């Protein structure tokens, strides 16, 4: 028996294998942190895991072929240990499997008022039945928790959570829950029965689907997932068989573990087994293999991408024969790019292929952020879809509408054969077949694992422990029979390559964040060189010397008070995320002669070690191309290029923030510049002091070409991460100054443009060499390079303490405030000077931090604050003592947007326990995730009381007095990091679109403009306005996008292809803008409600947001097709040629193919004036006319 208060050994065991619920995992983790005895047991079990792995690998190193090793004592002992360590495999022997098979075929006749007709399958939590509601005579699906699981309090609690979760969902694209309860000693959940066909059967019937149909299927699924996402849910098992196309052409998502088993129960393993890694392997996101419980909605987005890939090509991305084992398939998702779609199909539009590749990005940060974004991205490819015909043709009259056909023996083999084993089918399922043990690999193929040095073993130890847990989870994932574990080793080096990769994957060094010293610069170079397995300094085949430049972050440009600065030196943060080599010297004349066969230099006599000059940008690029093609370089796959402007300045500064890398002053003794004592020519390369990275002549000697086009104000709007310069221009950038210009023109921030064909005696260049990053240098999930630490654990650098109250100008306290650093933690024990503000402003970002609160604490995280304080957005942090205090409502609980948006769940840990929090601010969208769960999602434009929420500002922390003691209590923060988001600036049009409204004036719109005005960045149609506002330009085929906000009773319209004279509603066409809920319009003809072509063709209703909220709308007009999309849903799609003569008589303008765009106001004819309509973000993209 364990000591009182200690954990049972099997609970620690289950914690290590991940076989506990989320709350239990947290409880065990907290206990292990504070209990030395249990911690020692956990360490012992980890070592036992290592021993199991070592014995298995050691056994496999033995020579020989065939299945002989199955009888080896060491192998049997290893299997016995695995069997002892895993205590909850859903299937652990053929005998147990046979027992479960019998249980599958036997079921009770009735539960509650539902008659159970037949079993559809069984999973780790229970059994799924097709059933009949005995009173309503309606066919439903019933999920019943097994009696064994009812005895497990944790399982029953999880089932209840699932019941509550699906009960919150009500959406046409999600299979709805209709009932839940307890009867006959068990729990059950009732779902709607869908009359249709799942997408895996659809592909089986058709093979490759039509492009428009495939995109529409996934678009609808994404809309359903977005609804679940808005309720804080992640599916984790999206795949074709969990998406059903109903007979009325509607896609529905089988949600929250209700994955069906089709046909023979033993032949399909798609229901989630207890302890299983969620997600069928063919569709599982890379991050799910590591930690299925902590994934977010982007894992579902990856799975959607895999599903779309299959619908389009007929195959999942990694379903070929070379990925026929679970390990090879899992590793392909982690490491391999998906096979090009062109290998399977040639008619896929390039734009769609780009969408699919983004869906399948290994890094979640590079995927679409939400399912709604996926739906929007797929919308342009859905023209011509016909899901009704697709479903009708696939199902036929006699096909079972819900269950797919039973797989044949050619698919999966018999249900439970003698000495059965399991493998992964092309569909990604665990299937049963006779065992065929693979040959044992020879010893030399395992030396890559065993021959590591002692130091390497020490570095790999922690990752090896993690490896064993992952490996055991993978074993559990397929519900494999332990005696047939050899089926995981299908190919001789498959397992071993994976094992080696996991063991030796080194830790990535930190970002080199300026400022840093010369010694730190060298340390950064050495760490990255060690990590990449390359030298800090390298000499190429013709003797050119290069030095490694590590990834880093710095302030590019010059501060406002720098002497002699130019306006284009706008100071901003830049992140160089990839290491590269840069020439130690400017390219010399000798090197240029060797590669190009000529020396164009003006100062050339006997000066081969001098920099080459009189070289144009075009010739510098050609030098890089020819050097890369030399035999000694091509065989080493070295790619030479000019550095980008950002790379050049980062390398020049080498961690400094001064005017020059040498300091704030420069004269002729420091560099070859013209200071009245000019040499009148170039000097030998390397004649002056190098910078901290070991680069010479970054100031003076010759100007150096950069890769970028030159645009004067480019860096006012450039991306933070790896800016590449403008996409076009007439001049190329040159940097660094030269022998014939002053020190002021040789500053680190000075930038000029020259024609790429110009040659001057002061113009040379320096080259960079790209480094091909090894796979272990590429991160899955959030890249550390994207994150910047805001707190280093030593002092308040980067932060400004402020008074908590008073006038903004008086807020900075003279004594430093109540915030201190104690043991590497940011702590505040006061409330008078308890506001700590960042020194830098941030716009769109993800902020990650950890916090700890006493029971009666009252604190908050501030985002987008003004320098002196309000307005700001406060994410509330409140001690556990106030959880049920009536003085604090839901909008004052931890995680709330204070006083505005309450959290959806209470996930805060106990008093004085560390919690994690992630705050994402992107445009008007704010998301708060705490302890792994999304608890707040809000569109600030639609939050009452926040009419004009700030879009940028400072970040900070605020400590308040305790409501109990009246004095402040300590609150603590640590591990504070931020990742800025490179999102489209608000109001800026997407690529290919141009703005029609600048938010300030009515420029671009025709007079008269009566009835329309600009207010707070919006275009307002005034109350009772009858005016029409038209563009100054005519449009034929286009995509028009805009956002609008209705007041109660508002009525307006969008004029398309309208003439200047006449009524734009009928002499052109009007897309109605209307508050459908207004009593004034309760009895309108259907063709006069929102989104309709006014008085011609009605739109689908039910997609408008409530009055006062912002809606997004798109009008697609090409040739004779008009399509209207409202808040992501298509509400109108019409071919104008198919309209009848009555429509043409009422609206002759439908015959027009060109005209003006605009807005049409409407004055009331009764006693109630029409309300305002506001428009913003109005942009258009012209289309090539349809043939």
Which of 362-371, 441-450, 958-967, 1059-1068 is predicted least confidently? 441-450
- Domain span at residue 1087? 994-1182
Looking at residue 1094, its pLDDT comes to 93
pLDDT confidence tier of residue 653, bands split at 50, 70 and 90: very high
Same domain, 795 and 939: yes
Q: Quick one: 76 and 126 in the same domain?
A: no
Query: Is residue 1023 pLDDT above 60, yes or no?
Result: yes
Determine which helix (DSSP H) or strand (DSSP E) holds 582, and give its type and residue range: strand 580-583
Average pLDDT on 410-415 reads 28
Instruction: Specify which of 72-86, 416-430, 603-617, 799-813 reaches the highest per-range mean pLDDT.
Output: 603-617
Torsion region of 121: left, alpha or beta (phi above 0 gives left; psi -120 to 50 gives alpha): left
Asked whether residue 782 is domain-assigned, the answer is no
Q: CA-CA distance, 1076 to 1059, in Å (whole number)? A: 28
Q: Flag whether pLDDT at 286 surpasses 60.
A: yes
**CATH number of the domain that residue 180 is part of:** 3.30.200.20
Q: Where are the alpha helices (DSSP H) in 777-870?
A: none
Q: Which residues contact 136 (CB under 8 A, 6 or more apart)?
A: none
Q: Say whether both 500 and 547 belong to one domain.
A: no
Question: Would strands 768-770 and 580-583 be described as parallel, antiparallel, or unpaired?
Answer: antiparallel
Q: Given 160, 192, 224, which residue is the final one in a domain?
A: 192
| The predicted structure's pLDDT at residue 489 | 34
What lies within 8 Å, CB to CB, of 410 at 6+ separation is none
Question: Whose structure tokens read 């696939």?
Answer: 394
Average confidence score pLDDT of the chain: 76
Q: What is the pLDDT of residue 249?
A: 84
Q: What is the largest CA-CA distance in the chain?
A: 104
What does the alpha-carbon distance between residue 451 and residue 623 come to, in Å, rounded to a whole number? 43
State the burial class of residue 184 (Cβ atoms within 10 Å of its Cβ: 0-12, 13-18, 19+): exposed
From 300-309, 406-415, 1063-1072, 1101-1110, the region with the lowest mean pLDDT: 406-415
CA quadruple 653, 656, 661, 664: dihedral positive or negative?
positive
Shared-domain flag, residues 1039 and 951: no
409: confidence class by pLDDT, cuts 50, 70, 90: very low
Please give the average per-residue pLDDT across 443-471, as a whole number: 32
Residue 416 resides in a domain: no
The answer to whether residue 417 sits within a structural domain is no
Strands (DSSP E) found in 1076-1149: 1110-1118, 1121-1126, 1129-1135
Q: Residue 597 pLDDT more than 70? A: yes
Are residues 348 and 299 part of one domain? yes
Give the residue, 555 or 86, on which the prediction is more confident: 555
d(CA 520, CA 792): 15
The structure tokens 């702590």 sit at 827
Q: What is the pTM of this model?
A: 0.35
Of 948, 980, 1012, which marks where a domain is finished?
980
Predicted confidence (pLDDT) at residue 80 exceeds the cutoff of 70: no
Q: Does 2 fall in a domain?
A: no
Check pLDDT > 50 for residue 73: no
Q: Are 531 and 506 in contact (CB under 8 A)?
A: yes
637 pLDDT band (50/70/90 cuts)? low
Verify that 499 and 611 share a domain, yes or no. Answer: no
Structural domain contains residue 411? no
CATH code of the domain covering residue 333? 1.10.510.10
Do residues 1036 and 1057 touch, judged by C-beta distance below 8 A?
yes
Which long-range contacts (C-beta less than 8 Å, at least 24 apart) are formed by 1092-1096?
A: 1092/1132, 1093/1069, 1093/1122, 1093/1132, 1093/1134, 1093/1147, 1093/1150, 1094/1053, 1094/1065, 1094/1069, 1094/1070, 1094/1147, 1095/1065, 1095/1066, 1095/1146, 1095/1147, 1096/1069, 1096/1139, 1096/1143, 1096/1146, 1096/1147, 1096/1150
Count of structural domains, the chain? 6
Picking from 420-429, 779-788, 985-994, 1139-1148, which range would have the lowest pLDDT averaged per residue?
420-429
Give the per-residue pLDDT at 505: 42
- Co-location of 794 and 765 in the same domain: no
Co-location of 251 and 142 in the same domain: no
- Shared domain for 201 and 122, answered yes or no, is no
Torsions phi, psi for 596 (to 5 deg): -100, -15
Residue in 13, 198, 201, 237 annotated catalytic? 237
264 within 8 A of 406, measured Cβ to Cβ: yes
User: Containing H/E element for 135?
Assistant: none
What CATH number is given to the structural domain containing 544? 3.90.1580.10
Is there a domain that residue 1129 lies in? Answer: yes
Strand 114-122 versus strand 110-111 pairing type? antiparallel
717 pLDDT higher than 80:
no
Q: C-alpha angle 645/358/252, rounded to 5°?
A: 155
Distance (Å, rounded) from C-alpha 1093 to C-alpha 676? 75
Same domain, 828 and 956: yes
Identity of the highest mean pLDDT range in 256-270, 401-415, 595-609: 595-609
For residue 1093, the Cα-to-chain-centroid distance in whole angstroms is 38
Per the annotation, the verdict on 282 as an active-site residue is: no
Number of H helices, E strands in the chain: 24, 48
Highest mean pLDDT among 703-707, 839-843, 978-982, 1002-1006: 703-707
Of 370-384, 474-488, 632-646, the range with the lowest mean pLDDT is: 474-488
- Averaged over 457-464, what is the pLDDT? 34
pLDDT given at position 988: 60
Pairing of strands 933-939, 1121-1126: unpaired
Is there a domain that residue 415 lies in? Answer: no
Confidence of residue 246 (pLDDT cuts 50, 70, 90): confident
Same domain, 456 and 596: no
Residue at a domain's end among 947, 980, 1013: 980
165 and 67 fall within a common domain? no
Is residue 501 within 8 Å of residue 464, measured between CB atoms? no
Q: Return the minimum-mean-pLDDT range out of 100-114, 346-360, 465-479, 561-575.
A: 465-479
Asked if the structure places residue 90 within a domain, the reply is no
Whether 776 has a pLDDT exceeding 50, the answer reads no
pLDDT at 757 (0 to 100): 93
Which 3 state secondary structure label does DSSP give 349? coil
């Amino acid at each position: 028996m364990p000591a009182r208060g200690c954990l049972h050994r099997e609970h620690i065991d289950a914690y290590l294998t991940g076989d506990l619920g989320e709350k239990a995992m947290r409880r065990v983790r907290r206990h292990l942190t504070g209990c030395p005895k249990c911690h020692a047991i956990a360490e012992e079990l980890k070592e036992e895991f290592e021993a199991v792995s070592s014995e298995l690998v050691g056994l496999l190193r033995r020579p020989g072929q065939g299945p002989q090793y199955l009888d080896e004592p060491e192998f049997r002992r290893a299997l016995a240990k695995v069997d002892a360590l895993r205590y909850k495999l859903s299937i652990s022997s053929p005998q147990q499997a046979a027992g479960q098979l019998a249980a599958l075929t036997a079921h009770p006749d009735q539960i509650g008022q539902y008659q159970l007709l037949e079993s559809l399958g069984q999973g780790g939590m229970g059994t799924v039945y097709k059933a009949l509601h005995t009173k309503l005579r309606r066919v439903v699906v019933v999920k019943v928790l097994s009696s064994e699981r009812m005895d497990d309090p944790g399982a029953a609690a999880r089932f209840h959570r699932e019941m509550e979760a699906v009960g919150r969902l009500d959406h046409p694209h999600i299979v709805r829950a209709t009932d839940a309860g307890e009867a006959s000693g068990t729990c059950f959940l009732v779902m709607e029965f869908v009359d249709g066909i799942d997408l895996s059967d659809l592909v089986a019937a058709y093979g490759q689907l039509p492009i428009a149909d495939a995109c529409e299927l996934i678009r609808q699924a994404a809309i359903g997932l977005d609804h679940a996402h808005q309720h804080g849910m992640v599916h984790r098992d999206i795949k074709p068989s969990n998406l059903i196309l109903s007979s009325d052409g509607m896609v529905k998502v089988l949600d929250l573990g209700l994955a069906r088993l089709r046909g023979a129960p033993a032949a399909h393993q798609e229901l989630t087994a207890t302890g299983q890694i969620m997600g069928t392997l063919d569709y599982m996101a890379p991050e799910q293999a590591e930690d299925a419980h902590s994934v977010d909605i982007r894992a579902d987005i990856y799975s959607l991408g895999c599903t779309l890939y299959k619908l389009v090509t007929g195959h999942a991305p990694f379903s070929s024969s070379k990925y026929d084992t679970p390990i090879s398939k899992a590793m392909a998702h982690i490491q391999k790019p998906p096979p090009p779609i062109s290998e399977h199909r040639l008619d896929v539009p390039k734009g769609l292929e780009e969408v699919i590749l983004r869906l399948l990005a290994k890094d979640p940060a590079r995927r679409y952020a939400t399912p709604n974004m996926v739906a929007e991205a797929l919308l342009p490819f859905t023209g011509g879809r016909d899901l009704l015909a697709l479903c009708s043709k696939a199902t036929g009259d006699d096909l079972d509408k819900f269950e797919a056909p039973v797989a044949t023996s050619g698919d999966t083999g018999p249900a439970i054969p003698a000495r059965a084993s399991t493998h992964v089918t092309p569909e990604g399922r665990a299937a049963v077949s006779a065992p065929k043990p693979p040959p044992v690999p020879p010893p030399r193929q395992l030396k890559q694992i065993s021959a590591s040095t002692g130091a390497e073993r020490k570095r790999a130890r922690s990752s090896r422990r993690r490896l064993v847990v992952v490996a055991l989870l993978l074993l559990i994932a397929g519900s494999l029979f332990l005696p047939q574990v050899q089926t995981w080793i299908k190919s001789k080096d498959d397992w071993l390559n994976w094992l080696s990769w996991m063991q030796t994957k080194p830790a990535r060094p930190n970002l080199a964040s300026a400022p840093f010293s010369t010694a730190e610069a060298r340390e950064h170079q050495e760490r990255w060189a060690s990590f990449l397995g390359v030298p800090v300094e390298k000499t190429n085949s013709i003797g050119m010397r290069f030095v490694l430049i590590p990834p880093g972050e710095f302030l590019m440009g010059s501060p406002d008070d720098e002497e002699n600065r130019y306006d284009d030196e706008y100071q901003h943060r830049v992140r160089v995320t990839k290491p590269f080599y840069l020439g130690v010297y400017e390219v010399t004349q000798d090197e240029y002669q060797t590669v190009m066969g000529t020396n164009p230099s003006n100062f050339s006599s006997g000066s081969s070690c001098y920099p080459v000059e009189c070289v144009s940008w075009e010739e510098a690029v050609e030098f890089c191309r020819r050097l890369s093609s030399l035999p000694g370089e091509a065989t080493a796959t070295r790619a030479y290029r000019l550095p980008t402007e950002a790379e050049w300045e980062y390398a020049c500064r080498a961690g400094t923030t001064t005017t020059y890398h040498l300091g704030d002053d420069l004269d002729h003794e420091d560099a070859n510049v013209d200071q009245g004592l000019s040499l009148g020519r170039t000097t030998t390369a390397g004649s002056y002091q190098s910078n901290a990275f070991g680069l010479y002549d970054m100031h003076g000697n010759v100007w150096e070409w950069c890769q970028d086009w030159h645009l004067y104000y480019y860096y006012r709007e450039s991306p933070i991460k790896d800016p590449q310069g403008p996409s076009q221009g007439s001049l190329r950038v040159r940097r660094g100054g030269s022998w014939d210009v002053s020190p002021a023109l040789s500053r680190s921030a000075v930038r000029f443009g020259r024609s790429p064909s110009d040659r001057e005696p002061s113009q040379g260049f320096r080259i960079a060499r790209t480094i091909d990053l090894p796979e272990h240098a590429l991160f899955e999930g959030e890249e550390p390079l994207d994150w910047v630490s805001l707190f280093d654990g030593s002092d308040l650098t980067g932060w400004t303490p402020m008074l908590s109250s008073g006038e903004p100008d008086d807020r900075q306290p003279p004594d430093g405030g109540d915030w201190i650093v104690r043991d590497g933690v940011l702590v505040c024990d006061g409330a008078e000077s308890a506001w700590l503000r960042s020194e830098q402003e941030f716009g769109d970002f993800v902020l990650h931090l950890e916090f700890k609160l006493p029971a009666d604490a009252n604190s908050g995280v501030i985002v987008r604050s003004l320098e002196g304080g309000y307005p700001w957005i406060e994410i509330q942090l409140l001690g556990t003592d106030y959880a049920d205090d009536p003085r604090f409502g839901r909008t004052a609980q931890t995680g709330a947007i204070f006083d505005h948006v309450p959290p959806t769940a209470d996930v805060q840990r106990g008093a004085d326990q560390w919690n994690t929090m992630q705050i994402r601010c992107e445009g008007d969208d704010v998301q708060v995730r705490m302890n792994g769960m999304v608890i707040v999602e809000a569109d600030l434009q639609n939050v009452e009381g926040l009419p004009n929420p700030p879009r940028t500002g400072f970040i900070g922390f605020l400590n308040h007095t305790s409501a109990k003691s009246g004095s402040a209590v300590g609150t603590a923060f640590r591990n504070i990091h931020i990742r800025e988001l490179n999102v489209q600036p608000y109001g800026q049009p997407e690529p290919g679109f141009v703005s029609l409204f600048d938010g300030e004036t009515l420029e671009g719109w025709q007079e008269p403009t009566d009835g329309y005005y600009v207010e707070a960045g919006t275009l307002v149609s005034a109350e009772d306005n009858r005016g029409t506002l038209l563009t100054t330009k005519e449009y034929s085929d286009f995509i028009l996008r805009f956002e609008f906000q209705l007041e109660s009773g508002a009525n307006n319209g969008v004029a398309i292809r309208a003439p200047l004279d006449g009524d734009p509603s009928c002499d052109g066409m009007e897309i109605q803008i209307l508050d459908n809920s207004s009593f004034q319009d309760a009895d309108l003809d259907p063709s006069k409600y929102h989104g309709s072509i006014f008085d011609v063709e009605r739109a689908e209703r039910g997609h408008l947001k409530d009055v006062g909220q912002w809606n997004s709308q798109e009008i697609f007009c090409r040739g004779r097709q008009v399509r209207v999309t409202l808040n992501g849903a298509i509400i109108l799609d019409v071919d104008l040629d198919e309209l009848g003569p009555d429509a043409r008589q009422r609206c002759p303008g439908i015959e027009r193919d060109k005209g003006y765009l605009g807005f049409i106001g409407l004055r009331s004819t009764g006693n109630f004036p029409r309300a305002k309509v506001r428009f913003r973000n109005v942009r258009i993209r012209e289309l090539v006319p349809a043939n």
